[in-house]
Amino acid sequence: METNKTFTMIKPDAVAAGHIGAILDQIIKAGFTIKAMKYTYLTAQKAGEFYAVHQGRPFYNDLVSFMSSGPIVAAILEKDNAVADFRTLIGATDPTKADEGTIRKLFAKSIEANAVHGSDSDENAAIEGSFFFSGLEKF
Ligand code: RTP
Ligand code: MG
């Protein structure tokens, strides 16, 4: 299991608000290397599969429609301690609880439209990266 990679999405709210460049800038300045990246779109079915772990939670249906409401940027990132360091960089799920200077504090609109996704474990980072990228696209 690799411990130096994580997976992220810039979510539809942040793409629509024109924050792709500013968010990538923060990610790179924090020491992450972009290993793979694409500008793409999740259908409701694909969003449902991606967030299947949350099926049954009260926010699941809204989350699926939000995540399929517009284009996203998906990327695999590399850094020592990538999963934990990236979650520190993005801040708490609820932007009102996120630390100053974090990506969600700066760019998130709400607990749902919270600008970015970050994997929560090395195992999920590998699963989520493979959801979007083939072996050929990962180097
Ligand atoms: P993510 O998976 O997107 O990186 O976010 P996270 O770990 O911080 O939060 P998680 O608990 O995994 O929730 C996934 C996403 O669902 C939306 N959410 N909405 N309305 C709500 O109470 C609520 N709670 C979560 C957010 O978009 C959250 O990032
Ligand atoms: Mg999560």
Inform me whether the pLDDT recorded for 93 exceeds 80.
yes
- Enzyme catalytic residues: 117
Q: Is 11 annotated as a binding residue?
A: yes
- Whether the per-residue pLDDT at 139 is higher than 80: the answer is no
8 pocket-lining for ligand 1 (C-beta < 6 Å): no
**Edge-to-edge strand order for the sheet containing 72-78?**
33-40, 72-78, 5-10, 116-118
Is 59 annotated to bind ligand? yes
d(CA 83, CA 104): 16
Tokens of 52: 């299947």
Give me the sign of the Cα torsion angle 52, 82, 67, 36: negative
Q: What is the predicted pLDDT for the residue at 1?
A: 72
Topology of domain 5-134 in CATH is Alpha-Beta Plaits (3.30.70)
Q: What is this structure's pTM? A: 0.96
Per-residue pLDDT tens for 29-88?
Answer: 999 999 999 999 999 999 999 999 999 999 999 999 999 999 999 999 999 999 999 999
Q: Is 72 helix (H, G, I), strand (E, B) or coil?
A: strand
Please state the domain extents for the chain: 5-134
